[in-house]
Structure 1
């Protein structure tokens, strides 16, 4: 989503990572324009209202097209106005589900440690097309999943005293850590293998 390109011009090449400040600056620039321009006709009155509402929503964070359509429908805009508003926002370069999916995966893995399966489910809930979801998670393989799960468990264990624990305490810790990984979408088998390995290493340190 190239926020410096003229209206109607498509970007090519690799997509840059979304930036919240950049998005807000782009929205401010759009809001300062007249509703029509040399290459775009003015929006119909209700479509202009819908587009304005969509820009307010995008000011908080990027959203999928499905999310925007749903929120505008909740505000009781007619379908025709929503279609016109979404089309204009797409031309402005402020909505792109492929880029949205890629940034969602980057951010959720970095900040929340989400597993591939959890990310896929979240994007489906946001109405993102399967092709965009597949592209967004394509670089996450089994070794990446195991490495991230290991880092999550190590971070948890680093806040606990090292050394052997009683059998009951160790079993309880194991259950909590496996549940911790499961909530982030890691398969049970992987979660148990990672937790067992890290508990053993922690006990011997």
Structure 2
């Protein structure tokens, strides 16, 4: 059986769905925090680092994923990291679909869906286009 760390929000939701009393849930959360089994800030930071290391998602996407699990972190990708991610994603996608070199709207949409900033997307489109035509 696979286990993954869960946030307090996720655990509270599951227990409430199973019909547990809110007071009981609160006591359980207190005990889990006390024994170190529940630490949302540590979990959020770990997940952020994990997403950043995958190098295929932008800051917006990462923070939306964290928010959906009831988590928050003050960490953010730098502009340079987002540009690097956007360029590498676009170069990889262009190898599979070369028509993206001339269809900027589809290329931009692909990168924006990955949660990359508009400035990173525009920079990546310029860099990949320049790189491809230098051959």
**TM-score w.r.t. length of structure 2:** 0.83
Q: Please say if residues 108 and 114 of structure 1, whose CA atoms lie closer than 8 Å, have aligned partners that are also in contact.
A: yes
> Which residue does the alignment assign to 2:91?
154
- SS at the partner of 1:60? coil
Q: 2:118 aligns with which of 188, 192, 199?
A: 188
Q: Please say if residues 157 and 202 of structure 1, whose CA atoms lie closer than 8 Å, have aligned partners that are also in contact.
A: no
> Which residue does the alignment assign to 1:123?
66
* Larger RCO, structure (CA 8 Å, separation 6 or more): 2
Q: Please say if residues 8 and 40 of structure 2, whose CA atoms lie closer than 8 Å, have aligned partners that are also in contact.
A: yes
The structure that is helix-richer by fraction is 2
Q: 1:142 and 1:83, CA in 2 relative to 1: closer, same or farther beyond 3 A?
A: same
> Which residue does the alignment assign to 1:66?
9
In structure 1, list runs of 5 or more residues that go unmatched: 1-55
Which consecutive segments of 4 or more residues in structure 1 shift more than 4 A? none
In structure 2, list runs of 5 or more residues that go unmatched: none
| Higher alpha-carbon deviation: 189-198 or 76-85 | 189-198
Of structures 1 and 2, the larger Rg is shown by 1
Count of residue pairs brought into register by the alignment? 135
User: How many Å apart are 1:74 and its aligned residue?
Assistant: 0.9
**TM-score w.r.t. length of structure 1:** 0.58
Computed over aligned residues only, the root mean square deviation of the Cα atoms, in angstroms, reads 2.4
